[in-house]
Structure 1
Amino acid sequence: MWGHIFDLNNPLIGADNTWVLWAICALGAATAIYLEQKYDWAAKVTGAIIALVLAIILSNFGIIPMAAPVWDAVWGYVVPLAIPLLLLQCDMRKIGKEAGRILIIFLIGSVGTACGALLGYAVLGNFIPELDGLAGVFTGTYIGGTVNFAALGAAFEVSGDMISAATVADNLLMALYFFVLIAMPSIGFFRKHYKHPYVDEIEAASASGNKKAGETNAAAFWGRKEISLKDIALAAATAFTIVAISNIIGGVFTAIIPTSNPVLQMLNTLFGNMYLWITTISMACATFAPGFFGEIKGTNELGTFLIYLFFFVIGVPASVPMIIKNSPLLLVFAAIVVAVNMLFSLVAGKLLKFNLEDIILASNANIGGPTTAAAMAVSKGWTKLVGPIVLVGTLGYVLGTYFGLIVGSILGL
């Protein structure tokens, strides 16, 4: 048995051992939540980071596989179900201002991503093969997501070996960057120089009389609430129905909108995206029927647990040995791109006097996409920002490919 330890190609638990992998995923999420609500040190680190670290340790020690159908199921089924649960309290009439600020920072951060890719190419272009094409690929994925990564990799005809190395670097860098973003609201420099009303609101609520002695902020925020069987049934039925309808609508638009020119391609990508419709329908339900959907208890709790499963899965493919062996310079390149994105976002946010929470989530939406940004908003208790960041982040799927093509064109591809 011990021979499997550290053998990433032959993990102790195989990819086809479905029930055991689901159990580990659920236990990882539950452990992170328990520690966050039990111990002050864990509350400061946050359960999201704990879940990520647990997954990285298990996968890099050869205990669980880095690729498995269970992980795909979390991305393909768990995350879509989590989003409507988390948005049923989001009345669109109350979030316009937040969405506008996040959109501005997101667009500025997108320019920062493109500039970071060009800077990274100038520094490392002579040392990394095919970096002209990969610069476009990283630009697309750090504005949009995996769909942009795949599309631009094919467009620039990047070799399979370099795509694999870039994927490993991307996964590890994203995990590391999430650590930074989640920690930022606790760092004195950022608290001093930026407004942070949502952080203040959570801390004030935790410090009120509702918080018991020795209780962490997370435990106070997620205290026991009344919930019934009817609530669970309505929450589950609503989530499944919204996702099913959104999947159908996205498929219809994908089929009927041609891709014969760039404008139509953009519309096909935007309206064919299931997450756009999940977000839109969920927020429409919350806005136009708040007396029904807004009264369903437990939606935030159920959705948040599903998001913690997602946080665990994010850490699984981050292979440290693969980075050391195959793509250390690509990790440096990715870090340059992300650092410039963060610089653009922080400077613009400061000049425009935007909230620290807006800046963090917009940058997260650039680098990780709308799902990871929504997950971070949930883990921090910034529930009012979940809807806006999903909507803004979804726009990245459209913009990412075009920014990537522009960067590739600048570099002569």
Structure 2
Amino acid sequence: MVYSIIQPDETWLLWAFLAGWAAVSIYLEQKYSWASKVSGAIIALVGAMLLANLQVIPLESPVYDTVWSYVVPLAIPLLLFQSNIIKIWNESGRLLLMFLLSGIGTVAGAIIAFFLLKDVIPGLAEVAAIMTGSYIGGSVNLAALAARFETPGDIISSTVVADNMMMALYFLILMAIPALKFFTKRFSTPHIQEVEETRTDEDENLAASYWKGKEISLKDIALAVGTAFVLVAFSFKLAEIFASVIPTGENVALNILNTILGDGYLMLTTLTLIAVTVFSSYFESIRGAQEIGTYLIYIFFVVIGVPASLPVILQNAPLLFVLVFIMVAVNMLISFIFGKLFKFNLEEIIIASNANIGGPTTAAAMAISKGWRKLVAPILIVGTIGYIVGNYAGVALGQWFSGF
């Protein structure tokens, strides 16, 4: 057990850190322009990473597991309450295509990395499959696929370390690209131009402007949280029932059906999108759901930064870092090639790639921090589709890779 000032079983102290640092990250993002440009998500992740490496907080704890098991599932439906597929299809259809094209880059990167590294990384078939899912929908898929493949904990821990280091680095790169003339000369930038034309105060904090105060009643909070609990409970129970009644074995079709219907996260995402679309007036009347869901997901950002121990990655995961580096590099390359070929603008390419690697919330946070407001709602819905597409792609590649 690695020593830390706060021990893994000091539950209240760890919850105080997770909830407190998430709050500090949001405060800094909305208070200072530099933090708004970096984004609160990166501040949350990097801050946790630094404190873990300074041995202030532990690398593992049941508290972190609770965030994965309960906080993340509750955040997902809350973030989707305004995501009526029919209503925003005209806005998100184009972005969905860019997102899927970017996902091709992830799959291509996984295949290239697998055949380059399969003889030197034990269990690479599962790891590459898990990271395929993660890099088409974010870290939520990593947890789902790790459970699906029953991957040993030590391999997952090392993979998460490499993944978190790579994500932090890549997000910083994506944040910097809009300021580089190499890219702005070669791609159209309508959202950047709109921000420059409409912005009256150069020091205006875009995150604070987006998250400005609104009227939220006790009823809104009650309906938002209560509905989220019901959706999570019903979805996970339904998935559990399907997983138990659909047989698995030699029949490939039944195995696939069991994987699809028996996955709690897939079921939660699907049922929430259906409910929001069918009962759109009810969900649209609830205020504050996005704020509550975003705060919960910021707690998750803190947690995914914790396992990024530099000594661990230097000792146990250097080749895994090579794996994720290849996957992210190919994703970026393919995204910009397809983006140029199909005449997508720079902002769409960046946001789509971000949503693949980090998930919809990191992409939305970046869009907000940059002032690209028209992309926030579309990337939330499009990125959430990555939860489904990523899991499918990960399972498919896992089955293929396991034959080598």
1:50 pairs, out of 43, 63, 68, with 43
Which stretches in structure 1 are left out of the alignment for 5+ residues? 1-7
1:61 pairs, out of 29, 54, 72, with 54
1:179 pairs, out of 169, 172, 176, with 172
Equivalent runs, 1:84-233 vs 2, <5 Å: 84-97=77-90, 100-101=93-94, 104-120=97-113, 128-130=120-122, 133-134=123-124, 137-144=127-134, 145-146=141-142, 147-149=144-146, 165-185=158-178, 187-195=180-188, 207=199, 214-233=203-222
2:74 pairs, out of 60, 81, 88, with 81
State how far apart, in whole Å, the 2-side matches of 1:266 and 1:186 are. Answer: 44
**Superposed displacement of residue 77, structure 1:** 1.2
State how far apart, in whole Å, the 2-side matches of 1:192 and 1:263 are. Answer: 49
Q: Does the Cα contact within 8 Å between 2:354 and 2:362 map onto a contact in 1? A: no
Q: Does the Cα contact within 8 Å between 2:175 and 2:366 map onto a contact in 1? A: no
Q: Provide the secondary structure at the position in 2 that maps to 1:227.
A: coil
**Residue identity opposite 1:332 in structure 2:** V
**Residue identity opposite 1:148 in structure 2:** L
Whether 1:405 aligns to 2:392 is no
- Partner residue in 2 for 1:385: 379
**Superposed displacement of residue 321, structure 1:** 1.0
**Residue identity opposite 1:400 in structure 2:** G
**Superposed displacement of residue 228, structure 1:** 1.3
Residue deviations 1:104-139 (CA, integer Å, cap 9, x gap): 44554444334434544565567x353xx4155224
The 1:187–1:45 alpha-carbon spacing in structure 2 relative to 1, beyond 3 Å, is farther
Q: Provide the secondary structure at the position in 1 that maps to 2:16.
A: helix
**Superposed displacement of residue 266, structure 1:** 1.8
- Partner residue in 2 for 1:277: 267
**Superposed displacement of residue 22, structure 1:** 0.8
State how far apart, in whole Å, the 2-side matches of 1:386 and 1:123 are. Answer: 34
The 1:275–1:354 alpha-carbon spacing in structure 2 relative to 1, beyond 3 Å, is farther
**Superposed displacement of residue 267, structure 1:** 1.9
**Superposed displacement of residue 17, structure 1:** 0.8
**Superposed displacement of residue 358, structure 1:** 4.6
Give the TM-score taking structure 1 as reference length. 0.83
Aligned residues: 389
Q: Does the Cα contact within 8 Å between 2:73 and 2:265 map onto a contact in 1? A: yes
Give the TM-score taking structure 2 as reference length. 0.84
Q: Provide the secondary structure at the position in 1 that maps to 2:133.
A: coil
Q: Does the Cα contact within 8 Å between 1:365 and 1:373 map onto a contact in 2? A: yes
**Residue identity opposite 2:393 in structure 1:** L
2:389 pairs, out of 388, 395, 403, with 395
- Partner residue in 2 for 1:298: 288
- Partner residue in 2 for 1:4: none
Q: Provide the secondary structure at the position in 2 that maps to 1:64.
A: coil
Residue deviations 1:257-277 (CA, integer Å, cap 9, x gap): 222322222222222222233
Q: Does the Cα contact within 8 Å between 1:270 and 1:395 map onto a contact in 2? A: no
- Partner residue in 2 for 1:5: none
State how far apart, in whole Å, the 2-side matches of 1:183 and 1:41 are. Answer: 12
The 1:192–1:139 alpha-carbon spacing in structure 2 relative to 1, beyond 3 Å, is farther
RMSD: 3.0
Residue deviations 1:168-221 (CA, integer Å, cap 9, x gap): 32343233333334544555544444455666667777x26xx7x854111111
